[in-house]
Amino acid sequence: MNIKLEKPEDYREVENLTREAFWNVYRPGCTEHYVLHCYRDNPDFIPELDFVMEEDGRIIGHIMFSKAQLVLNDGTCKPSWTFGPISIHPDYKRKGYGLRLLQYALAEARKMGVGFLCMEGNIDFYSHAGFSLAGNFNIHYHDFPKEEVVPFFLAQELIPGWLTAQGIDEATYCPPKGYFVADENPEAFEAYEASFPKKEKLRLPGQLATQ
């Protein structure tokens, strides 16, 4: 198993991997491969934290990071970070690869000075890599009431004391605009999706209720 930076010649293979990993998991079909496709041209994209994992001579995993913002109660914006999509090919899921890829990427992010991450995900996976509820840090999720515990909104202080050092004792997080490209450009997304082999979209138990 090898982890290295993604190269332009990997892009299509990695987008196909992302599509395979997310297909029908959270909604019928998925849009995460299009998010990734568009993100590499986004100034929030962090090329130094764009990793692929290889095994058996093929790419089986990928993770990318993004610049993000925390908004203080007085409206001041503070730079922060997030990550995702993270993908492991379906043939390799639940064998420890995802956790190894995530732990590697977090260590590299810490070396680069990434002090605090928040993201949406399943705590049953991300708790293994040090994440807990973002509410524990007094960080709120943008479209939920501040007092509500949001079980999928997770965070980690990669550099202990980073929030205090930045003068952040409470803030609100909204995912960066780059994560909404498929909703904002449905026709462009459909044209992009049509460039992949057809796959059946299924409504399955466990998908997000609102999709």
Binding site for ligand COA (CB under 6 A): 21-22, 25, 84-88, 93-99, 121-122, 124-125, 128
Nearer to ligand COA, 10 or 78 (CB): 10
- Closer residue to ligand COA (CB): 24 or 185: 24
With respect to ligand COA, which residue has the nearer C-beta, 94 or 161? Answer: 94
Query: Closer CB to ligand COA, residue 104 or residue 125?
Result: 125
Q: Which is nearer to ligand COA, 72 or 129 (CB)?
A: 129
Smallest gap, in angstroms, from Cβ of residue 171 to ligand COA?
Answer: 21
CA–CA distance from 17 to each of 27, 41, 63, 86, 197 (Å)? 17, 19, 11, 10, 12
In the chain, count H helices and then E strands. 7, 9
Tokens 């796959």 label which residue?
199
Cβ neighbours for 185, distance < 8 A, ≥ 6 positions apart: none
Q: How far is the CB of 146 from ligand COA (least distance, A)?
A: 23
Q: Least distance in Å: CB of 169 to ligand COA? A: 27
Question: By Cβ distance, which residue is nearest to ligand COA?
Answer: 98
CB of residue 73 to ligand COA, shortest distance in Å:
28
Structure tokens at 173: 């997080």
22 vs 192, which CB is nearer to ligand COA? Answer: 22
H-helix or E-strand spanning residue 84: strand 77-88
| Minimum CB–partner distance for residue 67 and ligand COA (Å) | 18
Nearest distance in Å: CB 11, ligand COA? 18
Residue 23 main-chain phi, psi, to 5 deg: -60, 125
C-alpha 84/C-alpha 100 separation (Å) is 15
Burial letters 13-48, b for 16+ CB under 10 A, else e: ebbebbbbbbbbeebebbbbbbbbbbbbeeebbbee
- Side-chain half-sphere exposure of 151, counting CA atoms within 13 A: 4
**Which tokens is 118 given?**
């928040």
